[in-house]
A and B are shown apart, each in its own frame.
Chain A
Amino acid sequence: DIQMTQSPSILSASVGDRVTITCRASQSISRWLAWYQQKSGKAPNLLISKASSLERGVPSRFSGSGSGTEFTLTISSLQPDDFATYYCQHFHSYPLTFGGGTKVEIK
C-alpha cells in the first residue's frame, strides 16, 4: 500500500498568513493526488485534483503543486473560513489512501 504522510500535523497561523502543507507519498504517484478540506463535524470537501487542478468554486488563494512523491497545498492568504483540517489522498493505485491530516488552527 502507498503511505501518505502529511506535515505538519498541526499548524498554528493567523489570518492573512501564507500557509503551506506538505504531503509525501511512499512511492511515486505521478500527479495522482487530491486535497480535501474538512471542517469540524462536516464531510470533507474536494479542493484540488491531479495535484494542481482547482475544483470549481474553490477560492484562488488555494493552490496545489508537486509530482512524484512530494506535494504541497498552499493557502496564499489565510481567511477565517480556512481554519479546518486538510487531507491529501492518492489515486495512483488500490487501495486509495489518505494522509493523516493537517489541522490549521488560529494562532
Chain B
Amino acid sequence: QVQLVQSGAEVKKPGASVKLSCKASGYTFTHYYIHWVRQAPGQGLEWMGWITPYSGDTKYAQNFQGRVTMTRDTSISTAYMELSRLTSDDTAMYYCARDRDVVIPPAAPYNWFAPWGPGTLVTVSP
C-alpha cells in the first residue's frame, strides 16, 4: 500500500535549520510530485511547495522563498525539506503529501494531496 513515513520530532534553537525526510513506499517514487504542508499548533494548513522526484524541479510558496530547500534521493525513495533561519513562528507539524495522480514532468502536478505522511513536529525554542 502507498505509504509516506516521516522523520522524528525535532527541537531547534532560533536561527538554526532543520531538515526533514519523507520516505515513500508502495508506488513508483519518481512518478508523483511530493508537496510539503505545515500546520502551526491549533491553526490551519499552509502549503510550502513541491518537488518532482523525477527531475528534482521545485516550486516554493513565496512565503518561504529563500528559506526552504526541497530535495530528493531517488535511490532510497525519499524526499527532504530543509527550512533555515528558524523562528518561533516555524513551530508546527510538517507534513509531506503525495500529489493525487501520476504525472510525468514537464506536465504540471494536480495539486491536491493524497495520501499524507503522519507529520513531523518541529519545535523552535530558545
Footprint of B on A, CB under 8 Å? 34, 36, 42-46, 49, 55, 87, 89, 91, 94-101
Contact = CB atoms under 8 A, between A and B. Distances in A.
B117 interface: yes
A43 B44 contact: no
Contacts of A101: 44-45
Given A45-B115, A91-B110, 15 more contacts: A43-B95, A44-B45, A46-B112, A46-B113, A49-B100, A49-B112, A87-B44, A89-B45, A89-B113, A96-B47, A96-B61, A96-B111, A98-B45, A99-B44, A100-B44
Contacts of B110: 49, 91
B2 interface: no
B117 A43 contact: yes
Contacts of B118: 42-43
B80 interface: no
Q: 3 closest Cβ contacts across the A-B interface? A: A91-B111, A43-B116, A46-B114
Nearest to A99: B44
B46 A98 contact: yes
A101 to B, nearest CB: 5
A97 B47 contact: yes
A86 to B, nearest CB: 11
A89 B111 CA distance: 10
B59 interface: yes
Contact of B62 (A55, A95, A99): A95
Nearest to A56: B114
A98 B46 CA distance: 7
Contacts of A89: 45, 47, 112-113
B28 interface: no
Nearest to A101: B44
Contact of A98 (B47, B62, B97, B115): B47
Contacts of A42: 118
Contact of A87 (B45, B100, B115, B119): B45
